[in-house]
């Protein structure tokens, strides 16, 4: 059985390579100025990180560094508010530049995480400049001309995209990535007919400011003060609530419908039945999901465990004797998605149903890592 080593106390934004706001965490450059930088190479692609000061932007840097992603240059882009801020990444000092329409000249790969509006406006402009955009927002996910890619699941969807020819590739929603990392290997064996997903989503999914607010509210509530409610407009500490995404006319919120629609697109299966309930819980980092599956073909739990044991990017934490199963803390700052509570669904006849519980760091595999893995497929 694979297992993750225990994470320490949850830090605010995890193991990002640099930090900007002193109110969040102090700068913690991973490399000293004397580190030999193996990633900076003359013939490698030039990169831009759009939204570099945000939760996902920070994680991009951490992942690029961890994976020795080769680059010849890297542009750090954010809003006017951050322009001029300086920081050290891999021993080199960078100045954050204001993102504009002219930011993409000579950029081979742009990792976007500055919100859907920015992606919609500047993604196509970047692609026109010859840049391959890997976009973390929902702006292009359901565009039929834009591949929606989880490298372990459907790398073939981006086979026509080549470095040097501008294009947009969409990163799926974090809940979808975490879910499909675990479910796709089972689907390939037994074909999922119906999937019921209930999520327990962390503050980090709503960005750096939401993480800050959860800390602030927790302190305020413990001190008997009124909690500050700027991001979610309600008490988050010591509470949970339906996901803050807008609620649609069918009663589902947008986050839930992303799970439905994106699964169909990624699996290229319009018949797959998916329903979801998405809940925001006061966890700092990493999402959890309870997933109920109904299969076309029988799949017993031992076979499912064996399949998941060999699935790329997945680890099993499923120790019934000591009641030890995946937790958000344990997967925080980790690449792998953890699966446990693997059991036959007693409400279904025979071996046609399974329940599983999944945890994944949604800033990492749910966003930055997945995007960098997409970029690696371009090399
Ligand atoms: N957090 C997650 O787990 C997650 C997962 C998947 C996808 N995403 C998506 O990734 C995107 C960013 O999320 P986040 O959580 O990183 O948010 P965040 O922490 O709030 O960061 C937002 C980033 O966007 C930049 N930005 C905002 N307005 C801008 C503008 N007008 N021009 C240029 N840059 C601008 C910000 O720069 P300043 O600091 O200068 O304001 C900051 O770098 C969103 O589309 C989100 O849906 C997030």
Same domain (yes/no): 183, 101:
no
Buried b (16+ CB within 10 A) or exposed e, 35-45: eeeebeeeebb
Same domain (yes/no): 101, 239:
no
Same domain (yes/no): 334, 220:
yes
Give the pairing type, strands 192-201 and 287-295: antiparallel
The CATH code of the domain that includes 93 is: 3.40.50.720
Same domain (yes/no): 215, 119:
no
Question: Choosing from 13, 174, 179, 278, which is the catalytic residue?
Answer: 174
DSSP category for residue 124:
H
Query: Could you give the CA distance from residue 311 to residue 315 in angstroms, rounded to a whole number?
Result: 8
Query: Could you give the CA distance from residue 320 to residue 65 in angstroms, rounded to a whole number?
Result: 37
Would 259 be classed as within a structural domain?
yes
Residue 37 has a pLDDT of: 62
| Span from the CA of 202 to the centroid of ligand 1 (angstroms) | 16
Same domain (yes/no): 73, 214:
no
Mutate to test the pocket of ligand 1, among 94, 110, 114 (most ligand atoms within 8 A of CB): 114
With a 6 Å cutoff on the Cβ, whether 175 touches ligand 1 is no
**Residue nearest atom 44 of ligand 1, based on CA coordinates:** 115
Same domain (yes/no): 200, 345:
yes
Taking Cα atoms as reference points, which of 252, 331, 240 lies closest to residue 280?
Answer: 240
Residue 42 has a pLDDT of: 84
Looking at the chain, which runs of residues are DSSP E strands?
46-50, 73-78, 86-89, 92-95, 97-98, 109-112, 132-135, 167-170, 192-201, 241-242, 273-280, 287-295, 314-316, 337-344, 353-360
Mutate to test the pocket of ligand 1, among 23, 48, 54 (most ligand atoms within 8 A of CB): 54
Strand partners, 77: 50, 97
**Residue nearest atom 45 of ligand 1, based on CA coordinates:** 115
Is the Cβ–Cβ distance between 210 and 232 less than 8 Å? yes
Q: How far, CA to CA in Å, does 89 sit from each of 58, 113, 249, 250?
A: 11, 18, 46, 46
Residue 14 has a pLDDT of: 41
Which atom of ligand 1 is nearest to 202's Cα? 3
Residue 119 has a pLDDT of: 98
Where in the sequence is the domain holding 344, given as residue range(s)?
Answer: 175-363
Residue 259 has a pLDDT of: 98
Would 11 be classed as within a structural domain?
no
Query: Could you give the CA distance from residue 86 to residue 51 in angstroms, rounded to a whole number?
Result: 15
Which atom of ligand 1 is nearest to 78's Cα? 34
With a 6 Å cutoff on the Cβ, whether 177 touches ligand 1 is no
Q: Residue 251 region, left (φ>0) first, then alpha (ψ -120 to 50), else beta?
A: left
Same domain (yes/no): 184, 167:
no
Taking Cα atoms as reference points, which of 138, 127, 129 lies closest to residue 167?
Answer: 127
187 is annotated as an active-site residue: no
Query: Could you give the CA distance from residue 333 to residue 139 in angstroms, rounded to a whole number?
Result: 26
| Span from the CA of 318 to the centroid of ligand 1 (angstroms) | 35
With a 6 Å cutoff on the Cβ, whether 57 touches ligand 1 is yes
With a 6 Å cutoff on the Cβ, whether 122 touches ligand 1 is no
Is the Cβ–Cβ distance between 52 and 61 less than 8 Å? yes
Segments in the chain forming alpha helices (H): 55-66, 116-128, 174-190, 208-222, 254-267, 301-309, 328-331, 369-377
Same domain (yes/no): 230, 257:
yes
With a 6 Å cutoff on the Cβ, whether 79 touches ligand 1 is yes
**Residue nearest atom 4 of ligand 1, based on CA coordinates:** 205
Would 167 be classed as within a structural domain?
yes
Question: Choosing from 13, 187, 287, 359, which is the catalytic residue?
Answer: 287
**Residue nearest atom 21 of ligand 1, based on CA coordinates:** 54
Is the Cβ–Cβ distance between 238 and 221 less than 8 Å? yes
Would 328 be classed as within a structural domain?
yes
| Span from the CA of 322 to the centroid of ligand 1 (angstroms) | 40
Which atom of ligand 1 is nearest to 52's Cα? 43
Same domain (yes/no): 251, 312:
yes
Is the Cβ–Cβ distance between 266 and 259 less than 8 Å? no
DSSP category for residue 373:
H
Query: Could you give the CA distance from residue 83 to residue 80 in angstroms, rounded to a whole number?
Result: 5
Same domain (yes/no): 190, 339:
yes
Q: How far, CA to CA in Å, does 346 sit from each of 72, 160, 195, 325, 332?
A: 55, 44, 15, 20, 31
Would 12 be classed as within a structural domain?
no
With a 6 Å cutoff on the Cβ, whether 114 touches ligand 1 is yes
Would 2 be classed as within a structural domain?
no
Strand partners, 76: 49
Same domain (yes/no): 237, 299:
yes
Which atom of ligand 1 is nearest to 80's Cα? 40
User: Which strands, in side-by-side order, build the sheet including 273-280?
Assistant: 241-242, 273-280, 192-201, 287-295, 353-360, 337-344, 314-316
Would 116 be classed as within a structural domain?
yes
243 is annotated as an active-site residue: no
Our count of domains for the chain comes to 2
The CATH code of the domain that includes 336 is: 3.30.360.10
Query: Could you give the CA distance from residue 182 to residue 117 in angstroms, rounded to a whole number?
Result: 31
Same domain (yes/no): 270, 296:
yes
Residue in this structure with the two tokens 């962390």, named with its chain if needed: 202
The per-residue pLDDT string of the chain (379 residues; one tens digit each, 9 = 90 and over) reads 333 322 333 333 443 444 443 333 333 333 344 445 668 888 999 999 999 999 999 999 999 999 999 999 999 999 999 999 998 999 999 999 999 999 999 999 999 999 999 999 999 999 999 999 999 999 999 999 999 999 999 999 999 999 999 999 999 999 999 999 999 999 999 999 999 999 999 999 999 999 999 999 999 999 999 999 999 999 999 999 999 999 999 999 999 999 999 999 999 999 999 999 999 999 999 999 999 999 999 999 999 999 999 999 999 999 999 999 999 999 999 999 999 999 999 999 999 999 999 999 999 999 999 999 999 999 9
Would 21 be classed as within a structural domain?
no
């Amino acid at each position: 059985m694979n297992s993750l080593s225990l994470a320490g106390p949850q830090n605010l934004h995890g193991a990002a390579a640099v930090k900007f706001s002193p109110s969040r965490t102090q700068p913690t450059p991973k490399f000293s100025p004397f580190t030999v930088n193996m990633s900076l190479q003359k013939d490698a692609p030039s990169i831009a990180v759009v939204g570099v000061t945000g939760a996902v932007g920070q994680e991009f840097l951490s992942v690029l560094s961890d994976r020795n992603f080769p680059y010849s240059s890297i542009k750090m882009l954010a809003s006017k508010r951050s322009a001029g801020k300086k920081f050290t990444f891999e021993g080199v000092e960078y100045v954050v530049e204001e993102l504009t329409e002219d930011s993409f000249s000579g950029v081979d790969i742009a990792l976007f995480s500055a919100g859907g509006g920015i992606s919609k406006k500047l993604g196509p402009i970047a692609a026109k400049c010859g840049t391959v955009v890997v976009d973390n927002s929902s702006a292009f996910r359901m565009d039929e001309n834009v591949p929606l890619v989880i490298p372990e699941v459907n790398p073939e969807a981006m086979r026509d995209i080549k470095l040097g020819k501008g294009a947009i590739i969409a990163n799926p929603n974090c809940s979808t990535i975490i879910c499909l990392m675990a479910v796709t290997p089972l689907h390939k064996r037994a074909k999922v007919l119906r999937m019921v997903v209930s999520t327990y989503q962390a503050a980090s999914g709503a960005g750096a400011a939401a993480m800050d607010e959860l800390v602030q509210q927790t302190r305020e509530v413990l001190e008997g003060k009124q909690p500050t409610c700027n991001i979610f407009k309600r008490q988050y500490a010591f509470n949970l609530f339906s996901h803050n995404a807008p609620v649609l006319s069918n009663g589902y919120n947008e986050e839930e419908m992303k799970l439905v629609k994106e699964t169909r697109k990624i699996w290229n299966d319009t018949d797959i039945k998916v329903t979801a309930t998405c809940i925001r819980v006061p966890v700092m980092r990493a999402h959890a999901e309870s997933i109920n599956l109904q299969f076309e073909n029988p799949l017993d739990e031992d076979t499912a465990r064996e399949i998941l044991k060999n699935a790329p990017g997945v680890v099993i934490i499923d120790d019934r004797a000591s009641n030890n199963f995946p937790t958000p803390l344990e997967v925080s700052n980790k690449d792998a998605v953890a699966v446990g509570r693997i059991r036959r669904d007693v409400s279904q006849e025979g071996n046609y149903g399974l329940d599983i519980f999944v945890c994944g760091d949604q800033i990492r595999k749910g966003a930055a890592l997945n995007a960098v893995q997409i970029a690696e497929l371009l090399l």
